[in-house]
A and B are shown apart, each in its own frame.
Chain A
Amino acid sequence: MMLDNTDPYEPELGAAEWREQAGDEQNVNKTGTTTIGIATDEGVLIATDRRASLGGRFVSNKQVVKVEEIHPTAAMTLVGSVGGAQSFIKSLRAEVNLYETRRGQDMSIEALATLAGNFARGGPFFAINPILGGVDEDGSHVYSIDPAGGVMKDDYTVTGSGMMVAYGLLEGEWHEDIEMDEARRLAARAVESAAERDTGSGNGLVLCEVTEEGVDITEYDGFPDEDEL
């Protein structure tokens, strides 16, 4: 009789409609993708490629922007099914806004990661594997979220089909006190390396800087020279 929205694994708005629409696997656009998140003292650097494909065998889009602002000081990458990732991001954004208007304060990044993990596990979003990067009063945070709802915090993380190539470079170059400028150049090189060898990644670069000031996204056609970054 009385309305109580108490399921912590479901988004508050719009879940039922989407669940009906899990389309047929063959024609689902996937991002393939290499997405990278690196936490630094100044904020979080996120880098992604720009390709969407059908199973990594046909390039269905060459100018996808696979990172979006979902919170005043947090961004998320689109990895896996494009439809699943897009609705996931929209739904989280609605939740973030409701939380802020109801409680008069922004959701912490840990709360946002927890919510994202819950939705990935119990919600209507299928086949996604995003990175969440954000800044709050506790500092910079990078999380990877897997399709079963696993939430893992890290200093740096990579998801998508090009992850192994990108990790190869990061394992050699990343260090504890990495700064934003260095992280930007390193992540751009890692995405470019992945694009060379992974058929699901390519066509350009998007960089996103998340600081306490906000989220700043820059799109590149192709891969810029290091001095252009």
Chain B
Amino acid sequence: MQGQNQQQAYDRGITIFSPDGRLYQVEYAREAVKRGSASVGIRTPEGVVLVAERRSRSPLMERDSVEKLHKIDDHVGIASAGHVADARQLIDVARRQAQVNQLRYDETIGVETLTKAVTDHIQQYTQTGGARPFGVALLVGGIDDGEPRLFETDPSGTPYEWKAIAIGGNREEIQGHLEDEYSDELTLQGGIDLAIEAMAVGEEDGFPPEGLAISTVETESGEYRTLELDEIENRLAELDLLTEGDDE
């Protein structure tokens, strides 16, 4: 590369720092996350709540095919924001790692251990020539020995633990709402409601029931569960955030 090209090299190559120490491709990947619809995670003493918005481009599309919440193992789920296809690769890394842990130690994998396996994988794509970083952020929620845990991964491959967090589009506003309303004593139901209300910030009309996907991992059972459409509809109606669905 010569002349002007050379000056731009750190903008193109993932493994090259800019003169002020930044990795532009990683920062662009963070922008890709912001272009995705939002996902919210909330940790309560009764369990972890994951909520994702499912946008539909057309009323003819089956919304169930927009997969943003994923069961990883009986006790862990992941919500994504950003490139869905990139997310799928990481979801499979996580699912495999959960089973590797089971095979290797005959133990269910810890949520922190799982998160770090995924972020270590993400990190390798920020340091390998010819690779592109993952344009996706994840929320990893589950139960560790009876304790609810909630982690975030970002395109740099850094793991963070949270009480409540939003990723994806409109992240700042949603996070602001969570910061104002979060309490350490939320019930699981309260966590679901707070997550829905936070998602609705900037979406004044609310959502059709199929516009949200909601999963929980309860502390007591330690089991991942996806809420049925009528349960989501009930919550939305109760919160006065129900709009008409695609079919009507």
Chain A positions within 8 Å of B, measured between CB atoms, are 1-4, 6, 8-9, 102-103, 107-108, 110-111, 114-115, 118
Contacts and interface: CB of A to CB of B under 8 A. Distances in A.
Contact of B104 (A2, A4, A108, A114): A114
A2 B100 contact: no
Given A102-B113, A103-B112, A2 B128 contact: yes
A191 to B, nearest CB: 31
A115 B112 CA distance: 20
B47 to A, nearest CB: 22
Q: How large is the interface on B (under 10, 10 to 19, 20 to 34, 35 or more residues)?
A: 10 to 19
B103 interface: yes
Contact of A6 (B96, B107, B116, B125): B96
B219 interface: no
Contacts of B100: 6, 8
Instruction: Name the residue among B106, B121, B124 with the largest chain A CB count within 10 angstroms.
Output: B106
A8 B105 CA distance: 8
A111 B107 contact: yes
Given A1-B128, A2-B128, A6-B96, A111 B110 contact: no
B97 A6 contact: yes
Contacts of B105: 107-108, 111, 114-115
Interface in B106-127: 106-107, 110, 112-113, 116, 121, 124-125
B103 A8 contact: yes
B106 A111 contact: yes
B96 A3 contact: no
Interface string B127-169: 0100100000000000000000000000000000000000000
Binding site secondary structure of chain A: loop
Of all A-B residue pairs in the complex, the 3 with the closest CB atoms, nearest first, are A111-B105, A8-B104, A8-B103
B104 A3 contact: no
Given A8-B100, A102-B113, A103-B113, A2 B121 contact: yes
Contacts of A107: 105
Contact of B121 (A4, A8, A115): A4
Instruction: Name the residue among B93, B104, B113, B125 with the largest chain A CB count within 10 angstroms.
Output: B104
Given A103-B113, A118-B104, 9 more contacts: A1-B131, A2-B128, A3-B124, A4-B121, A102-B113, A102-B116, A107-B105, A115-B104, A118-B103
B72 to A, nearest CB: 15
Contacts of A114: 104-107
B161 to A, nearest CB: 13
A108 B97 CA distance: 19
B128 A103 contact: no
Contacts of B131: 1
Contacts of B125: 2
A217 to B, nearest CB: 26
